[in-house]
Structure 1
Amino acid sequence: MFSKSKINEPGPKATDTANPAAPKPTPSAPPASGEAKPATPKAKPPASTLSSDLHITGNLKTTGDIQVEGTVEGDIRAHLLTIGESATIKGEVTADDVVINGRIVGRVRGLKVRLTSTARVEGDIIHKTIAIESGAHFEGSVQRQDDPLNPGRGTKPETANPAAAKGTDTAS
């Protein structure tokens, strides 16, 4: 009445013999092209965390994510930058996404900048979008730019006609 299932047993299965033209996967052999292609895309590495007992003097630059809990005296550039409640940054921070829970003394540049209720910022913020929660402390100016990550771009109004910028009348 009962028979042993061959689902989990190695070797050819009944479905493999029914379709002999189908290619059989060989997991141990690399593809013919010589390049191994992963079945799934690479997982994003976790954010680098700078612990609360760490004090860094110098600049930090990465294309990845950083979470700062300690003190940094220098500029930081990252993809996602999270400033913890106990963190202090003295320098310019530049990131696609900046979440500030702690203290920054210096300029902040980001496509998306978020000051939480525990944030303390002393410096200018240049952003594309900004969110400031109730209770955040901020001293400085706020400027919206389409491309806030590139210093010098979008800071001066551009004119289409250089002669008009010099005050020369070009209309006849």
Structure 2
Amino acid sequence: MFSKSKINEPAPKAPEAAKPAAPTAPAAPAPSDYKAAAPKPKPPASVLSSDLHITGNIKTTGDIQVEGSVEGDIRAHLLTIGETATIKGEVTADDVVINGRIVGRVRGLKVRLTSTARVEGDIIHKTIAIESGAHFEGSVQRQDDPLNPGRAAKPAANPAAAAPAAKPESA
């Protein structure tokens, strides 16, 4: 039934040579697939130093840390206003951390005024935090989507207009 010679005989070398060739071909595309799927590392925040003065608008999808002065609007993903910074214009970002001075409107999903913040203007936000010692002159308004004022203002304006009209009729 059993033959010792068949068990102890080495396998033919031609099929072994064919087997490594097959796995090698699929292995080559696999690393390129992983490289394409891997997310790119997030670049560091752009820093505008304290001796820098910018006149004009700044727009980026990345992060900015401002230590100098800007006369113009700023739009970014994460915006950090340093203690020595002065911004004169509208600020719009997903996340705004204010340590310095802003004269103008602030729009952000998350807005944080630290104890050294000085803001003169309206703040439109989804969430806000104001530390003790922060100086703020203006109004605060919560919106679900503060980054897109056209979409959020229209639905808010229609119910507000309808509600006062309904009250005088029933009164």
TM-score by length of 1: 0.73
Q: How far is the alpha carbon of 1:158 from its aligned partner?
A: 2.2
Q: Secondary structure at the match of 1:63?
A: coil
Q: Distance in 1 between matches of 2:37 and 2:23?
A: 17
Q: What is the rounded CA distance, in whole Å, between the counterparts of 2:132 and 2:34 in structure 1?
A: 51
Corresponding residue for residue 14 of structure 2: none
The one-letter code matched in structure 2 to 1:55 is: H
Question: Which residue is equivalent to 2:104?
Answer: 106
Deviation at 1:20, TM superposition (A): 4.5
Q: Which runs of 5+ in 2 are unaligned?
A: 1-16, 167-171
Distance 2:41 2:85 in 1: 28
Larger radius of gyration between Structure 1 and Structure 2: 2
Match of residue 157 from structure 1: 157
Deviation of 1:41 (Å): 1.9
**Greater share of helix residues, 1 or 2?**
2
1:74 aligns with 2:72: yes
| C-alpha separation in 2, matches of 1:41 and 1:26 | 23
- TM-score, length-normalised on structure 2? 0.74
Give the Cα–Cα distance (whole angstroms) in 1 for the partners of residues 37 and 127 of structure 2: 36
Match runs of 1:123-162 below 5 Å: 123-155=121-153, 156-159=156-159
Superposition RMSD in Å: 3.2
Q: Secondary structure at the match of 1:152?
A: helix
Residue 125 (structure 1) shift: 0.1
Identify which range, 46-55 or 148-157, moves more after superposition.
Answer: 148-157
Q: Distance in 2 between matches of 1:83 and 1:26?
A: 50
Structure 1 residues 35 and 21: alpha-carbon distance in aligned structure 2, compared to 1, 3 A threshold:
closer
SS at match of 2:157: coil
How many percent of aligned residue pairs carry the same amino acid? 83
Deviations 1:74-128 (A, max 9, x none): 0000000000000000000000000000000000000000000110000000000
Q: Amino acid of the residue matched to residue 108 of structure 1?
A: V
